[in-house]
Amino acid sequence: MAKYCAKCGTKLDDNASFCNNCGNATTTNEQVNVNVNVNNTSTNSTPLVAKREIVLAIILSLITCGIYSLYWFIVMTDEVNKVSNDNRTSGGLALLYTILTCGIYGIYWHYKMGKQIYLAGQTYGKDISDNSVVYLLLGLFGFGIVSYALIQNDLNKFAA
């Protein structure tokens, strides 16, 4: 049986004092044993994210003239990073890159979020399709809010 961090589920070395992923101090009592399936992914619990009402998020984005959508972008990026264990670009940094590149990074962001959430879905056994190209095309043709809604719909599958 492999040992995993009780906080984030990352595989631990047998003599690890801290988790390499989240920094959680580990002791023998805090480590959990989980079964590993043939795809080498753990069957431990899925990282939890907040479930967002998609219609409410769209309405708030519209009545605030897009200000809420900036917040939604940041939070959604951070939550996709959380479920995919990919923390290379935080939501704030992704927004900054989007502003500095006059929106070009934002178009790439749609594709990246689609790939990350698809891989996270495979890791945790969620029924999520690889819609990264669809998200990219929606972002490219000015339908980013539709892409946000679809990404949030997939992300809600990870909510408690």
Give the DSSP per-residue string, 29-83: TT-EEE-B-TTS-B-SPPPPB----HHHHHHHHHHTTTHHHHHHHHHHHHHHHHH
Range with lowest mean pLDDT among 5-14, 68-77, 133-142: 5-14
Indicate the pLDDT class of residue 136, thresholds 50, 70 and 90: very high
Residue position matching structure tokens 């998609």: 54
69 and 3, same structural domain?
no
Termini Cα distance of the chain: 27
Indicate the pLDDT class of residue 13, thresholds 50, 70 and 90: confident
13 and 59, same structural domain?
no
Radius of gyration of the chain (CA): 17
pLDDT the model gives residue 46: 65
Tell me if 119 sits within 8 A of 106, measured CB to CB.
Answer: no
In the 8-state DSSP scheme, what is residue 158? G
Q: Is 88 helix (H, G, I), strand (E, B) or coil?
A: coil
63 and 41, same structural domain?
no
**Domain that includes residue 132, residue range:** 54-158
**pLDDT at 158 exceeding the cut of 80:** yes
Say how many domains are in the chain. 2
pTM of the entire structure? Answer: 0.70
144 and 108, same structural domain?
yes
24 and 74, same structural domain?
no
Encode pLDDT of 37-81 as tens digits.
434 444 456 667 889 999 999 999 999 999 999 999 999 999 999
85 and 39, same structural domain?
no
Q: Which residue has the higher pLDDT, 103 or 50?
A: 103
